[in-house]
A and B are shown apart, each in its own frame.
Chain A
Amino acid sequence: MLAQPTSELLHYVLFIHSAPYTQGSYSALRFAEAALQQGHHIEQIFFYHDAVQHANNLAIPPTDEHNIAQDWEKLAAQYQFNLMICIAAALRRGVLDKALATQYEKAHFNLAKNYQIVGLGQFIEATLKADRVLVFGNQL
């Protein structure tokens, strides 16, 4: 059965695949803002694939442009939900917290505040609880 339109408030998990500043990245943020404004609950934002770059706080966009990583941080702080990035995807792309930098003998770490590096199990657990899981990928 196709999901019917409903006025009931739902628990969402957003599974973001696309790099910062792509359509998928913006669509996810706008969806989250709209859903939260309507009273829906966001359980978790899970950044996977190239989306883990949202958590790279060494990224310095021009000051007259939007900083999408900070937009997520503000929204997450306001509505109290988790920003999680996958550890395997993060290691592959060089997004590390202090513990990982020490473990892998790297001189630096760059995980933005309010983001957590977690395992894929955290995402699967959240999907078990969620009413809806939405994928934001690279398709336009």
Chain B
Amino acid sequence: MKASKKILFLHSKPPYGTFYPQEAFDVALMAAAFNLHVSLAFLEDGVFQLVNGQNSTAIDRKPLSAMYQSLAIYDIKDIFVETESLLKRGFVAADLALPVTLLTTKEFTQLMQQQDVLLNW
């Protein structure tokens, strides 16, 4: 058994279509509590989850941006976004609710290849 596996949480779906991003977040926190090396990565419509200033009160949901801003408290700091997905949707890194590392598509692929466990949503 490896002492510390690298685990990547990969999000490619928009924020409020399901309740899954909130529940996925709980898995990430648990993985961090078990001292796994936790990274989160966002591509395609998943980048909408990180956009700053989400006001989800009209749909009776908690804003995902606020949830992700709390990641630093749990010492989860490796947050990656695929640049092309972001730009295609009219955003730049400054539009996001937390500091992220932007990756090219090739770098994003390399990130996935470096993992022991990849959980995708």
A49 partner residues in chain B, CB cutoff 8 A: 18-20, 23
A120 partner residues in chain B, CB cutoff 8 A: 26-27, 30
B23:A48 contact, CB within 8 angstroms: yes
Binds B, one of A55-63, A67-75, A103-111, A121-129: A121-129
Contact with A along B82-119 (1 / 0, CB 8 A): 00000000000000000000000000000001000101
Quick check: is B70 within 8 A (CB to CB) of the other chain?
no
Nearest A residue to B27, CB-CB: A120
Quick check: is B5 within 8 A (CB to CB) of the other chain?
yes
B18 partner residues in chain A, CB cutoff 8 A: 49
Quick check: is A88 within 8 A (CB to CB) of the other chain?
yes
A128:B23 contact, CB within 8 angstroms: no
A17:B30 contact, CB within 8 angstroms: no
A127:B5 contact, CB within 8 angstroms: yes
Q: In the complex, A128 Cα to B5 Cα: how many Å?
A: 7
Quick check: is B1 within 8 A (CB to CB) of the other chain?
yes
- Give the interface SS of chain A, mostly helix, strand, loop or mixed: helix
Inter-chain CB contacts under 8 Å: number: 49
A124:B31 contact, CB within 8 angstroms: yes
Quick check: is A115 within 8 A (CB to CB) of the other chain?
no
A125 partner residues in chain B, CB cutoff 8 A: 34
Q: A127-B5, A128-B5, A135-B119 are in contact. Are A88 and B30 (CB under 8 A)?
A: no
Q: In the complex, A128 Cα to B120 Cα: how many Å?
A: 17
Q: In the complex, A133 Cα to B34 Cα: how many Å?
A: 16
Q: In the complex, A115 Cα to B34 Cα: how many Å?
A: 24
B120:A121 contact, CB within 8 angstroms: no
Quick check: is A15 within 8 A (CB to CB) of the other chain?
yes
Quick check: is B40 within 8 A (CB to CB) of the other chain?
no
Residues of B within 8 A of A (CB): 1-2, 5, 7, 18-20, 23, 26-27, 30-31, 33-34, 36, 113, 117, 119-121
Give the top 10 A-B pairs by smallest Cβ distance, nearest first.
A120-B30, A124-B34, A133-B117, A124-B30, A124-B31, A129-B1, A127-B117, A135-B120, A49-B20, A135-B119
